[in-house]
């Protein structure tokens, strides 16, 4: 079809397209805000439960982050070496 018509379709597509992109992501903004509110409510309601699991998680993270960085470095290197040699 003639280029002019193509361009017309293009303009059409641009207007609609950017319109949808913005609508979609704008709605998503509010969806996420609602989501976060909901999450807050939920976690408050089962506060106790959360607390426990939170502690548990914290503990878990402790166990991980507790390891001194250099040890991890050494071990990582070793693991690398181990892999490159044993595989």
Question: Taking CB under 8 A as the rule, does residue 79 contact another protein?
Answer: no
> What are the CA-CA distances from residue 7 to residues 24, 33, 49, 57 (Å)?
25, 38, 59, 56
Q: Phi and psi at residue 39, in whole multiples of 5°? A: -55, -45
Positions in 56-85 near a copy of itself (CB under 8 A): 63-64, 67, 71-82
Nearer to a copy of itself, 30 or 68 (CB): 68
Question: Taking CB under 8 A as the rule, does residue 17 contact another protein?
Answer: yes
Alpha carbon distance 40, 43 (integer Å): 5
Q: What is the contact surface with another protein in residues (CB under 8 A)?
A: 1, 3, 5-14, 16-18, 20-29, 31-33, 35-36, 38-40, 42-43, 57, 83, 87
């Amino acid at each position: 079809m003639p280029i002019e018509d193509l361009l017309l379709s293009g303009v059409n597509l641009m207007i609609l397209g950017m319109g949808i992109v913005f609508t979609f992501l704008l709605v998503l903004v509010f969806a996420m805000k609602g989501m976060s509110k909901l999450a807050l409510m939920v976690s408050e309601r089962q506060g106790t439960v959360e607390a426990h699991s939170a502690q548990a998680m914290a503990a878990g993270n402790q166990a991980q982050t507790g390891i001194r960085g250099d040890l991890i470095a050494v071990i990582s290197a070793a693991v690398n070496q181990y892999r490159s040699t044993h595989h």
